[in-house]
Structures are given as C-alpha cells and as structure tokens.
Amino acid sequence: MGLAIFDLDNTLLAGDSDYLWGQFLVEHGIVDAEHYERENLRYYREYQAGTLDIHSFLAFQLRPLAAHDMATLHGWRDQYLLEKIEPIMLPKAQALIEDHRRQGHTLLIITATNRFITGPIAERLGVANLLASEPAIHNGRYTGAVAGVPCFREGKVIRLESWLSENGLIRGESWFYSDSHNDIPLLEKVTHPVAVDPDAQLMEYAKKKGWPVMSLR
C-alpha cells in the first residue's frame, strides 16, 4: 500500500491554523485579548523551539470550546475558515495531494492541531483520513480535555500505528511531508521523508540525512 502522509500547519497551509484560531478569538472579542494573545504567542514560540508541553497547550486551547455550545462554535469556525484559512491555502499543496491521489496512494493528514479546527480544512483539501488531537465531548459539549494520545511528536507515530492496525493496513511504501523538527520521529519511520519549507532545525537535519527538501509556497 502506498501511503502519503501530510502535516498540515506550515506544510499544506502557509500558516499555522492553531495560532490563527487564537488570533481569531482575540480579534472577535471571544476571549480576554491581552491574556490570550500573550499565552497563544508563548505556546507558539515553545512549539517552534521544540519545548512545547502539549498537554498544557491543549488545556489552554480547548478551554474556549468548553465555554460555548456547538452551534455557536460552528458559526465562529465557519467565519474563521473564511477569514484565516482560505487566504493561506496553497495551490502547490493541492497539486501535491492530487499527484498522490492519481497514483492510487492512501492519503492522510496528521496534525497536532485539534479536530474541531482541522476537520473542515482536511475536507476542503479533499483528504478523507485525518489524525488530529481529539477534544473530548460529553453530552454534546466539549469538556476542555483531550481524548487519548495527543497527535504530537512521538504521539504521531503512536496514533499512526494505531490507525493502521484499526484499519487492517500495512505500511509499505510511504511518504511524509512536514515543515517541523517536531515531526522528526515520524519522518524517521517512512520510506520517503520530505522536508517542506522546513524550519531551521529540520533543514539542518534533512541535509545531514540526505532527505529531499521542497517548497509549496
């Protein structure tokens, strides 16, 4: 089975959907602007530095979901997709996805960003399979907690292996496209690791390993 795996933020998108959701909440007065913007930026910098505590970040990011009903959240999300995501869609990313589709490969987006945010983006990209951090739901509302293993760093490897097993799939020839050094654990596991518009740490690592480097910008 040919398996084409794609990171989302700063790989298929020309920006970070996680960070942009925080900006959207601030700009529309949904959260306390000064506190939320400061924390959102702090977590983003920690992600870039490779020091992010994913459980702490998800507790911060999922808290606004728990404070509102689903109908309100979905209305905000529709607006967010138009304002923040449509402008950072990349035609070359869509072309890359379609190239793998034509080859008959199974397509999968794998992202640390939670499913509430990324589900509609994966649909917009035409990729049916999505592994993301899962916000817990109880009685039709988000709880503010994360369900299961966060889809981050080594967690991406764990979640991928579980997904393959659950679907009765065997990973044969495989590709993984990512921009981030945080994804090195999964890049090491595929037969075709590709650094896409990589951060400085991944660029250095990719050169050392002889991995291809490409741009979708």
The contacts of residue 176 (CB under 8 Å, 6+ apart) are 5, 6, 7, 110, 183, 186, 187, 189, 190, 192, 193, 194
Domain presence at residue 214: no
Q: Considering 87, 106, 136, which residue would you say is the last residue of a domain?
A: 87
> Crossing angle of helices 33-49/17-27, nearest 10°?
170
> Rg of the chain's alpha carbons, rounded to an integer?
17
Residues 61 and 98 reside in one and the same domain? no
| Active-site residue, from 7, 16, 18, 183 | 7
Average pLDDT over residues 12-28: 96
Residue 146's CATH number: 3.40.50.1000
Residues 141 and 170 reside in one and the same domain? yes
Residues 108 and 188 reside in one and the same domain? yes
Q: Write the pLDDT tens digit of every residue in 43-85.
A: 989 988 999 999 999 999 999 999 999 999 999 999 999 999 9
Q: Is 199 a catalytic residue?
A: no
Residues 42 and 74 reside in one and the same domain? yes
Question: pTM of the prediction?
Answer: 0.96
Domain presence at residue 9: yes
Q: Which two tokens stand for residue 150?
A: 């966060």
Distance from CA of residue 55 to its chain's centroid? Answer: 15
Domain presence at residue 76: yes
Q: What residue type is assigned to position 185 of the chain?
A: P
Domain presence at residue 63: yes
For 47-72, give the secondary structure using H, E and C. HHHCCCCHHHHHHHHHHHHHCCCHHH
Residues 94 and 167 reside in one and the same domain? yes
d(CA 198, CA 179): 4
Residues 112 and 7 reside in one and the same domain? yes
For the chain, the domain total comes to: 2
For residue 214, name the pLDDT band (cuts at 50, 70, 90).
very high
Residues 105 and 203 reside in one and the same domain? yes
For residue 171, name the pLDDT band (cuts at 50, 70, 90).
confident
| Active-site residue, from 9, 16, 179, 197 | 9
Q: Considering 59, 87, 115, which residue would you say is the last residue of a domain?
A: 87
Residues 148 and 197 reside in one and the same domain? yes
- Give just the sign of the alpha carbon dihedral 98, 4, 86, 131: positive
Q: Is 9 a catalytic residue?
A: yes
Domain with 32 in it: 17-87
Residues 44 and 104 reside in one and the same domain? no
